[in-house]
Amino acid sequence: MKNKNRKIQIGVIGPAESEYPKDTGLKNKICEFAEKIGELLAEKDAVVFTGGTDGVMELVSRGAKKKNGTTVGTPGRTRNSSNKYIDIEVLTPIDVGDFLFAGILSSDAIITIPGGAGTMAELCLAYRFKKPIIVIEGLDNNYDKLINNYLDESKLVLIEGAKNPEEAVEKAIASIHHNNSL
């Protein structure tokens, strides 16, 4: 039975601070986009799921809090280890890859800001569990190649691209309604 009162839950994945690109212009664009995505999701009354630590996770959460949104972080197994913008901590028995399980499975759709291997692993698991995936275009050629494609022959999810935060949020929410996830 579906809960008609349940809020949309959107996961946002992307680089930790240590994985930011060396190109300052690209780094600034990633930071700007991350915070804006958080703001837009909060304006849509979506619960924002991240890994809960630094980098994109912190900026998305900060953006959501600017608009009085609800944020959930999965920082591993240590209580009070999330960034200061996280409302709810979901602890897991592992310290690395925690969002892979709790975050991906709890999200109705995933917005991807290209990052390193951790971000790619999260994207792959989202694909495996048939979560709608939206990738911000123009930030990383490796991620751009995924747009409008499937990851494998199973063709579980067509990965969509978005040129900006507004389009990413719009597509994420539309995909949820299209898939009747709520």
- Domain map of the chain by residue range? 23-174
Per-residue pLDDT reduced to its tens digit, 24-59: 899 999 999 999 999 999 999 999 999 989 999 999
For residue 177, what are the contacts with CB-CB under 8 A and spacing of at least 6?
none
More confident residue, 124 or 82: 124
The band of 2, judged by pLDDT with boundaries at 50, 70 and 90, is confident
Q: What is the pLDDT of residue 4?
A: 77
The whole-chain average pLDDT of the chain stands at: 92
Class of domain 23-174: alpha beta
Would you say the pTM of this structure is higher than 0.75?
Answer: yes
For the chain, how long is the longest CA-to-CA vector? 48
Q: For the residues 139-148, what does the mean pLDDT come to?
A: 97
Judged against a pLDDT cut of 70, whether residue 97 lies above it is answered with no
More confident residue, 125 or 91: 125
